[in-house]
Amino acid sequence: ERPMNASVMVRVSAPDARQKIAASVTFFTTKLGSTVCSASGVIIATDSAASGDSWVLSDGGVFLPFLAKRMSKQSSKYPVMRQGFQVEVRTQDGKWWPASVYALGPPPGAAPGLDAMSRIISSQSGLQSGFVLAKGMSCRGELGVMALIRVKGKSLGKYGSGVRWLDPSCLARGMEVSILSSPYGALSEEIFANSVSSGVISSLLTPLSSVSSSEASGNLSLILTDARCFPGSEGGGVFVRNTSKIVGIVAGTLSHPTLVHSGTLSLVFTLSAVESFISTCLSTTLPRTTRVSPPPSCKRLSHHHHHHHHH
């Protein structure tokens, strides 16, 4: 049950935003004159001195159409949102918490991988990222924009406890993972909150410049999984199956529009991407206690994982 508790749904709305939204978000709904979209997120622990607040990591793409003015290429703190904009976080127990967008942007640590991805996507390959961002967004992280959301007070801390982030050097192809997210959450939180989809880590997108070096795996900022991601799953936590160990958060999906049945791959930000983003915004890192550090503890994990298959 523990990973479930750290998983949240993020709901965003603003009055009269429909035209802007329709152009850039995969799905939305309209309630009482407001346009409502949703994404998923994970509650994180921080060591920040200023953390009398609770923090949620989520997808940034869902917020872009709600910006009052275009974003700069770097991560920006306190982005200015359009009038009447609201963001709320829904915890596992169905409670809603008013929140605000603290920072928005591509995680610096994932820049090389995201650049490589966007080159493939903008070539004539036909490959697309699963959600299209606001037109005119020439932000470097067009595929993967992250958001840091602030909920006043420490109250979310208890939901987020128990989750341990995996050091990227622990990750391996074939590792079984599950995405916990709230796809289509804006349409019905009762039905869709905390849905699970499963698969394996399909590929580790190691930065080419560091392939031969031993620290390459520690710099691993992006991975792909064949676990399905649906509109609204972006920002959801990717966990080692049946554990509360988190591999990363969903950065987006890749699909080939003409090969409808080829399915999709989900792009995932690992801990090193997440850390690069958090440290830029909060000048802090995730507490050591919330991590599964490299080798000794990984070995057990992968051993357990192979063991799994022999039954």
DSSP codes, 93-122: TS-EEEEEEEEEE--GGGHHHHHHHHHHHH
b vs e for 158-169, b when ≥16 Cβ sit within 10 Å of the residue's Cβ? ebbeebbbbbbb
| Of 23, 3, 20, 54, nearest in space to 181 by CA | 3
Side chain identity at residue 130, one-letter code: G
pLDDT bucket at 133, cuts 50 / 70 / 90: very low
Q: Between residues 44 and 70, which one has the greater pLDDT?
A: 44
* Average confidence (pLDDT) over 113-122: 74
* Average confidence (pLDDT) over 127-137: 46
Is the domain spanning 2-310 CATH 3.30.2320.80? The answer is no
* Average confidence (pLDDT) over 69-95: 82
Q: Between residues 257 and 266, which one has the greater pLDDT?
A: 266
67 C-beta neighbours (distance < 10 Å), count: 19
- Name, of 26-35, 48-57, 116-125, 176-185, the range with top average pLDDT: 176-185
Specify the pLDDT at position 150.
Answer: 92
Q: How far apart are CA 75 and CA 156, in angstroms?
A: 24
Q: Between residues 298 and 271, which one has the greater pLDDT?
A: 271
Mean of per-residue pLDDT scores for the chain: 76
For the cut 60, the answer to whether the pLDDT of residue 194 exceeds it is: yes
For the cut 80, the answer to whether the pLDDT of residue 167 exceeds it is: yes
pLDDT bucket at 134, cuts 50 / 70 / 90: very low
pLDDT bucket at 101, cuts 50 / 70 / 90: very high
pLDDT bucket at 140, cuts 50 / 70 / 90: very low
- Name, of 8-22, 106-120, 161-175, 198-212, the range with top average pLDDT: 161-175
Q: Between residues 206 and 261, which one has the greater pLDDT?
A: 206
Q: How far apart are CA 293 and CA 69, in angstroms?
A: 40
Specify the pLDDT at position 211.
Answer: 47
Q: Where are the domains of the chain?
A: 2-310
Specify the pLDDT at position 17.
Answer: 64
* Average confidence (pLDDT) over 158-167: 83
pLDDT bucket at 304, cuts 50 / 70 / 90: very low
For the cut 70, the answer to whether the pLDDT of residue 162 exceeds it is: yes
**Contact between 21 and 37 (Cβ < 8 Å):** yes
**Contact between 142 and 223 (Cβ < 8 Å):** no
Q: How far apart are CA 273 and CA 278, in angstroms?
A: 9
DSSP character string of 266-286: EEEEEHHHHHHHHHHHHS---
**Contact between 228 and 262 (Cβ < 8 Å):** no
Q: Between residues 304 and 186, which one has the greater pLDDT?
A: 186
